[in-house]
């Protein structure tokens, strides 16, 4: 049909002398601007008449000898025409037609007729509109989704190449769909692997066109991938994310902890005591949970699952627990700190950051030291405060865990001296108290003896007389 039209146009042009027929391929994405070329030599005179027409649709745009311009009625949109032929390019011999906001129905064969005196030049342009569509528009995770590339009119013998996020797309191997799905259609199960920008590249007769569309999948959006690692320090609070798409409210939500080694058939264990499911204040699609106080035994894999439109969606995540082990070294007052993780497979770098606080609570950060272990002197004031182990991967920082060096540890020598001084004071006071107690006891005994003597006055007189005689004898001996 195309060759027949070209032949007819060629015969008419031949009768008007000097005409020729050629077909130019133009690809345009639906919604974009298409430029249909029609050029002559810049030395040629400006045509007295220019006519753009579409096969079986009549005139698109024309300029008569009088200078008047006409547009086809079907090309108007909200009172304005979608086609134009810029006069500013006429002096350069360029009479190309611009079509804005192209649609699938705009695809087809166009002709450009230039009348220069008795000579008519005719150019043929084939406009092909490329569209990429996704069905359903936003699929649910695990359901079938199709991405289709349409070209109007379709070029027989054209090659189609798919790109996803600027990389060639590889179809899933081993699927029966691959053998029956056309080259211009991708049909897969909706997963995070398919999300992003899809681009269809069409190659035909040394020409190339392309169109794009974005695809997003409904389901669990946080964490975005299965087996995502979550890092937490012993004693801290950690959130276990489980967020569905904003318009999805799952039913039969379940949180579970998987026992180690249960791959083919998962075996679940009891959730930790500090585990807490989503709060009423959370949004209905946010089913995240948390551990209030992480313990070392809490490490392992957790699963969040819920039902959406009859489809059971689940996401696994791994909780990795970090702690700092301390051990005394041979050097006096020296301790070795070791940064330990329940799974350090993704860790590529360890950093130790020293943080101190003044009496006003102002924080200051000291030098950063590299390595998994750190040796510090607890007796030095420079090492008082917090030592934070920050661990990172190739992507960035994964988490941190802190060890507190108490000032009491650094004051061990001063505490010993203070203890000795206090001990001496206590011993002295105890001795004085003992002496006082002995004196009081003796005074008490004398008092009791006097009380017993006072009960017998005669006996008191005899005792007094004997005592006086004893004293007289002692004096007389001294005189002799």
Question: Hey, which residues does 337 pair with through a beta bridge?
Answer: 326, 374
What's the pLDDT at 219? 92
Question: Among 7-16, 99-108, 213-222, 331-340, which is the least confidently predicted range?
Answer: 7-16
pLDDT band with cut points at 50, 70 and 90 for residue 159? very high
Alpha-helical regions (H) of 181-329: none
Q: Compare 420 and 251 and report the one with higher pLDDT.
A: 251
Angle, CA of 226, 163 and 396, to the nearest 5°: 40
What's the pLDDT at 179? 43
Instruction: Look up residue 93 and give its two tokens.
Output: 């011999």
Domains annotated for the chain, with CATH where assigned, are: 22-129 (2.60.40.10), 130-170+181-215 (2.60.40.10), 220-320 (2.60.40.10), 329-405 (2.60.40.10)
What's the pLDDT at 363? 73
Tens digit of pLDDT for each residue in 407-434?
A: 544 344 444 444 445 666 777 788 888 8
pLDDT band with cut points at 50, 70 and 90 for residue 320? very high
DSSP annotation of 379 reads: T
Letter string b/e over residues 109-144, b meaning 16 or more CB atoms within 10 A of that residue's CB: bbbbbbbeeeebbbbbbbbbbbbbebeeeebbbebe
The yes-or-no verdict on residue 14 having pLDDT over 60 is no
Instruction: Look up residue 332 and give its two tokens.
Output: 């006096």
Q: Compare 18 and 402 and report the one with higher pLDDT.
A: 402
Estimate the crossing angle of helix 457-479 against helix 412-454, to 10 degrees. 110
Angle, CA of 371, 375 and 381, to the nearest 5°: 125
Q: Compare 452 and 76 and report the one with higher pLDDT.
A: 76
Tens digit of pLDDT for each residue in 291-305?
A: 999 999 999 999 999
The yes-or-no verdict on residue 82 having pLDDT over 50 is yes
What's the pLDDT at 243? 94
What's the pLDDT at 182? 85
What's the pLDDT at 413? 43
Kindly report the number of other CB atoms within 10 A of residue 102's CB atom: 19
Q: What is the mean pLDDT of residues 430-453?
A: 78
The yes-or-no verdict on residue 152 having pLDDT over 60 is yes
Instruction: Look up residue 187 and give its two tokens.
Output: 């049909």
Q: Compare 141 and 445 and report the one with higher pLDDT.
A: 141
Tell me the C-alpha distance between 154 and 204, whole Å. 10
Q: Please state, in angstroms and as integers, the Cα–Cα distance from residue 436 to each residue in 27, 285, 294, 302, following that order.
A: 115, 80, 58, 72
Alpha-helical regions (H) of 41-167: none
Question: Among 65-74, 200-209, 230-239, which is the least confidently predicted range?
Answer: 65-74
What's the pLDDT at 416? 40
Tell me the C-alpha distance between 448 and 442, whole Å. 10
pLDDT band with cut points at 50, 70 and 90 for residue 382? confident
Residue listed under structure tokens 């009380």: 451
Strand 119-135 versus strand 23-29 pairing type:
parallel
DSSP annotation of 383 reads: G
DSSP annotation of 17 reads: S
Instruction: Look up residue 165 and give its two tokens.
Output: 């996020």
Is residue 91 packed enough to be buried (19+ CB in 10 Å), middle (13-18) or exposed (0-12)? exposed
Is residue 219 packed enough to be buried (19+ CB in 10 Å), middle (13-18) or exposed (0-12)? buried
Nearest alpha carbon to residue 139 among 203, 187, 67, 104: 187
Tell me the C-alpha distance between 353 and 376, whole Å. 12
pLDDT band with cut points at 50, 70 and 90 for residue 318? very high
Question: Hey, which residues does 345 pair with through a beta bridge?
Answer: none
Tens digit of pLDDT for each residue in 90-144?
A: 888 899 999 999 999 999 999 999 987 777 889 999 999 999 999 999 999 889 9
Kindly report the number of other CB atoms within 10 A of residue 192's CB atom: 15
C-alpha count within 13 angstroms, C-beta hemisphere, residue 93? 9
Nearest alpha carbon to residue 194 among 135, 242, 249: 135
């Amino acid at each position: 049909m195309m060759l027949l039209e070209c032949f007819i146009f060629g015969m008419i042009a031949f009768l008007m002398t000097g005409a020729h027929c050629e077909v130019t391929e133009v690809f345009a994405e639906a919604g974009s601007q298409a430029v249909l070329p029609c050029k002559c030599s810049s030395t040629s005179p400006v045509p007295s008449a220019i006519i753009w027409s579409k096969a079986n649709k009549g005139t698109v745009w024309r300029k008569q000898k009088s200078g008047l311009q006409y547009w086809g009625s079907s090309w108007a949109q909200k009172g304005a025409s979608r086609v134009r032929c810029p006069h500013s390019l006429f002096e350069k011999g360029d009479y190309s037609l611009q079509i804005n906001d192209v649609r699938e129905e705009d695809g087809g064969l166009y002709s450009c007729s230039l009348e220069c005196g008795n000579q008519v030049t005719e150019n043929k342009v084939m406009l092909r509109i490329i569209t990429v569509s996704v069905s359903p528009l936003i699929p649910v995770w695990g359901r079938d989704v199709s991405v289709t590339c349409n070209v109007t009119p379709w070029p027989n013998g054209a090659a189609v190449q798919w790109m996803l996020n600027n990389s060639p797309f590889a179809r899933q191997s081993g699927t029966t769909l691959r053998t029956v799905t056309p080259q211009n259609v991708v049909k897969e199960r909706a997963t995070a692997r398919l999300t992003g920008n899809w681009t269809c590249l069409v190659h035909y007769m040394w020409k190339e066109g392309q169109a794009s569309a974005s695809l997003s999948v409904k389901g669990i959006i946080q964490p975005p991938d299965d087996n995502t690692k979550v890092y937490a320090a012993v004693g801290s609070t950690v959130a276990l994310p489980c967020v569905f798409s904003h318009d999805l409210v799952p039913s039969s939500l379940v949180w579970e902890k998987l026992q180690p080694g249960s791959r083919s058939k998962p075996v679940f264990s009891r959730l930790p005591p500090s585990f807490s499911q989503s709060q009423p204040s959370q949004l209905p699609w946010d089913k995240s949970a948390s551990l209030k106080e992480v313990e070392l035994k809490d490490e392992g894999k957790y699963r969040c699952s819920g039902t959406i439109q009859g489809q059971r969606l689940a996401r696994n995540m791994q909780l990795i627990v970090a702690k700092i082990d301390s051990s005394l070294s041979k050097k006096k007052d020296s301790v070795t700190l070791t940064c330990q993780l329940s799974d350090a497979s993704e860790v590529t770098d360890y950093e130790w950051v020293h943080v101190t606080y003044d009496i006003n609570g102002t924080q200051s950060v000291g030098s950063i030291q590299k390595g998994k272990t750190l040796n510090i002197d607890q007796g030095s004031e420079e090492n008082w405060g917090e030592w934070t182990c920050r661990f990172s991967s190739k992507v960035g920082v994964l988490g941190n865990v802190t060890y507190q060096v108490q000032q009491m540890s650094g004051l061990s020598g001063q505490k010993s001296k203070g203890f000795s001084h206090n001990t001496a004071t206590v011993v002295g006071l105890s001795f004085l108290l003992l002496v006082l107690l002995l004196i009081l006891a003796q005074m008490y005994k004398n008092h009791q003896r006097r009380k017993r003597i006072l009960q017998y006055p005669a006996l008191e007189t005899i005792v007094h007389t004997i005592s006086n005689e004893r004293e007289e004898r002692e004096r007389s001996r001294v005189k002799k």
